[in-house]
Amino acid sequence: MSMFVRDQDFEVLSGQTARYDRKADSSNVIAMNFCAHCHGLLWSNNPTLSGIKVARAGTLDNMDWAEPIGNIWTDSKAAWVKIDPELVNFSKQALDRTPLFDTWTRHNQD
């Protein structure tokens, strides 16, 4: 599970990181940031999301509050994964993430 985090709200608390630049299907270069020790993916920076990091929720000390509000790339999910049709779902890359941002905002105002 990934989550959008504003740059000003993001902080690496400990450890060293390493970066790998990957060319996406869109031809954008995505900066993938890993733990330099275990090589676990921590977050990515996408040039189309200025001021936003895409952090992996599994890197948090407490994920209890990080409830999914949508899914991307549902066409390539594992056969056993159940997708809630009530969420904001995209079969492939979400070219416009506004529906995800709007749903997240509404969800966190309740």
pLDDT per position as a tens digit, 100-110: 878 877 876 76
Predicted confidence at residue 37, as pLDDT, reads 95
User: Is residue 25 helix, strand or coil?
Assistant: coil
Residues 60 and 8 occupy one common structural domain: yes
Residues 32 and 60 occupy one common structural domain: yes
Question: Do 56 and 1 contact (CB within 8 A), yes or no?
Answer: yes
Alpha-carbon distance of 18 to 95, in angstroms, equals 27
Q: What is the number of domains present in the chain? A: 2
Residues 27 and 72 occupy one common structural domain: no
Residues 9 and 40 occupy one common structural domain: yes
In this structure, what are the phi and psi dihedrals at residue 25, rounded to the nearest 5 degrees? -55, -30
Question: Do 53 and 10 contact (CB within 8 A), yes or no?
Answer: yes
Predicted confidence at residue 44, as pLDDT, reads 92
User: Where in the sequence is the domain holding 31, given as residue range(s)?
Assistant: 1-65
Predicted confidence at residue 52, as pLDDT, reads 86
pLDDT per position as a tens digit, 28-74: 898 999 999 999 999 998 887 788 888 888 887 777 877 888 888 89
Residues 85 and 100 occupy one common structural domain: yes
Residues 34 and 73 occupy one common structural domain: no
Which residue in this structure is represented by tokens 């990934």?
2
Predicted confidence at residue 83, as pLDDT, reads 93
User: Is residue 31 helix, strand or coil?
Assistant: strand
Predicted confidence at residue 31, as pLDDT, reads 93
